[in-house]
Amino acid sequence: MNTQKLIETAAALFANDKGLLAIDESIPTCNKRFAQFGIAQTEEARRDYRELIVTTPGLGESISGAILSDETIHQYLTNGTPFVKAMQDAGIISGIKVDGGAKDMAGHTAEKITEGLDGLRERLAAYGQIGARFAKWRAVIAIGDGIPSRSCIEANAHALARYAALCQEAGLVPVVEPEVLMDGAHTLARCFEVTEDVLRTVFAQLYRHQVLLEGMVLKPNMVLPGLTCPQQEMEDVVADATVKCLLRAVPGAVPGIAFLSGGQAPELASARLNAMNARFKSRVPWALAFSFARAIQQPALQIWRGEPANVAAAQKALYHRARCNFAARRGEYVLTSDAPAVPL
The reply to whether 97 belongs to the active site is: no
Residue 232 burial (CB count, 10 A): 14
Q: What is the number of residues in the chain?
A: 344
- A 10 A CB-CB count for 329 gives 24
Backbone region of residue 57 per phi and psi (left: phi > 0; alpha: psi in -120 to 50; beta: other values) = beta
Phi, psi values for residue 307, rounded to 5°: -100, 120
Residue 177 annotated to the active site: yes
Catalytic site residue from 51, 177, 179, 235: 177
Alpha carbon separation from 136 to 42, 163, 185 (Å, rounded):
24, 9, 28
Catalytic option among 111, 219, 235, 267: 219
Q: What is the DSSP letter of 217?
A: E
Q: How far apart are CA 76 and CA 262, in angstroms?
A: 29
Strand pairing report for 173-180 and 134-141:
parallel
> Rounded to an integer, what distance in angstroms lies between the CA atom of residue 90 and that of residue 81?
12
Catalytically annotated residues: 177, 219
